[in-house]
Chains A and B, each alone.
Chain A
Amino acid sequence: QKEVEQNSGPLSVPEGAIASLNCTYSDRGSQSFFWYRQYSGKSPELIMSIYSNGDKEDGRFTAQLNKASQYVSLLIRDSQPSDSATYLCAVDRGSTLGRLYFGRGTQLTVWP
């Protein structure tokens, strides 16, 4: 079982809709969870971090964490074409300090 799994997509939503990106992880000891956005041909950019169960909102982005279900998600409200990118989920492991484990990413397309 991979440490971090994401649906590869592509996920396609219309402009103004809510995009929902999901991620599951295998290590129950994980404490830190991150979402990165990667535009085509560019490097990953950190957009959200979450450490506690529940929701964390930042502008149009909401990260949701459920440690019991080992599930983390990213909601993008009022999606814009500029949100079209690959979104990477990253998770630490309690047994490996300082390392992050990345999912393969979900490709999101927002069409006007």
Chain B
Amino acid sequence: GAGVSQSPSNKVTEKGKDVELRCDPISGHTALYWYRQSLGQGLEFLIYFQGNSAPDKSGLPSDRFSAERTGGSVSTLTIQRTQQEDSAVYLCASSATGDEQFFGPGTRLTVL
């Protein structure tokens, strides 16, 4: 079956613009995670959705970041008024069990 998909694969934007990143999890996976990874750095947790429960937003770095998950499936991560320090690879993962996570290919965001 299909794995986690993310779009776009690359996004270049200008400082101050808003961007939306999309994640399609593996079908049937109830848990969905967003991470970001700056060049040469580890994974930074951003947000976690589990079924219909309230999301765990504890990793969002500022109120410019938000995410939603519609219909328990597709998720969109929105970054408002982008800054150069937002440049990173944004990774989405999904899980059926809440522990083993499977990652998508990521979206490389470059803020000029």
Report A's interface with B, CB cutoff 8 A: 32, 34, 42-46, 49, 88, 90, 92, 96-105
Contacts and interface: CB of A to CB of B under 8 A. Distances in A.
B100 A49 contact: yes
Chain B interface size range: 20 to 34
Interface string B87-112: 00101000100111111111000000
Contact of A43 (B50, B98, B100, B105): B105
B42 A102 contact: yes
Nearest to A101: B45
Interface string B42-59: 110100101000001000
B100 A34 contact: yes
B31 A98 contact: yes
B92 to A, nearest CB: 9
Contacts of A34: 99-101
Contacts of B91: 43-44
6 contacts: A34-B101, A44-B43, A98-B48, A98-B50, A98-B95, A102-B43
B108 to A, nearest CB: 9
